[in-house]
């Protein structure tokens, strides 16, 4: 057994390229309200803290119907979250390899819990048994709740667990849960953003991630 026995993965920008489907859902609800649409790069900057902050950032400042737009976004995205979403190259093979080595795997995400569980079932059901998203009882990242819940479900030893993510939110979450963090560079944040957030381990590709996981 290598240095880790359990690996927790962020979903968006780490395992799955979900950005285009999120942009489509954001622009669907913005268009329905006659509001300016958002580019892919704008949505890339807005994501990472969950649906509420995403919609808040996408709307014009002070927009009075924010909660209505948020509810519409959640409903539309839940029904259209697998149109163009797909795993990053090499991710399914990596997860299967880790599973065969006997490692405990889980996915955590600031998406609503039902969306996280649905995407896990669609893409990673054979390799990843546990998915944890935001609920009334589990606060979104950077609170440590999701990581702690995933470790409890896995029966994971915190001293043998690592979190893999792609954003400054993931770095802060790992710190809050007292876990090491590996930051992948194929996701939604540039390296300089991650470095400013305190990232210490980087994986530019699947081979580098495999090496860091041991």
The residues that are catalytic are 10
Rounded Cα distance between 102 and 30, Å, is: 45
55, 136, 144: which is closest to 108 by C-alpha? Answer: 144
**Most distant CA pair in the chain, distance:** 56
CA distances from 6 to 80, 93, 152, 156, 162 (A): 31, 17, 11, 6, 7
DSSP letter, residue 12:
B
State whether the Cα torsion 36-190-47-198 is positive or negative: negative
150, 139, 164, 163: which is closest to 13 by C-alpha? Answer: 164
Q: Which two tokens stand for residue 113?
A: 């819990």
Cβ distance 74 to 11 under 8 Å?
Answer: no
Q: How big is the chain, counted in residues? A: 214
Q: What is the DSSP track for 84-120? A: S-EEPTTHHHHHHHHHHTT-EEEEEEEEEHHHHHHHH
């Amino acid at each position: 057994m290598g240095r880790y026995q359990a690996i927790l993965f962020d979903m968006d920008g780490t395992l799955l390229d979900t950005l285009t489907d999120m942009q489509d859902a954001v622009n669907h609800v913005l268009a329905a309200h006659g509001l300016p649409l958002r580019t892919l790069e704008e949505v890339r900057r807005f994501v990472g803290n969950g649906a509420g902050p995403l919609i808040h950032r996408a709307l014009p400042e002070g927009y009075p119907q924010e909660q209505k737009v948020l509810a519409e976004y959640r409903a539309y995205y839940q029904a259209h979250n697998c149109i163009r979403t797909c795993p990053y190259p090499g991710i399914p093979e990596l997860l299967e390899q880790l599973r065969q080595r006997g490692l405990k795997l889980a996915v955590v995400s600031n998406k609503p819990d039902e969306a996280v569980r649905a995407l896990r079932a669609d893409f990673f059901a054979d390799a990843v048994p546990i998915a944890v998203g935001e609920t009334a009882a589990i606060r979104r990242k950077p609170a440590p709740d999701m990581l702690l819940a995933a470790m409890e479900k896995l029966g994971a030893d915190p001293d043998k667990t690592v979190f893999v993510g792609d954003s400054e939110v993931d770095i802060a979450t790992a710190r809050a849960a007292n876990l090491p963090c590996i930051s992948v560079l194929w996701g939604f944040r540039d390296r300089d953003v991650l470095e400013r957030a305190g990232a210490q381990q980087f994986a530019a590709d699947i081979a580098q991630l495999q090496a860091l996981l041991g």
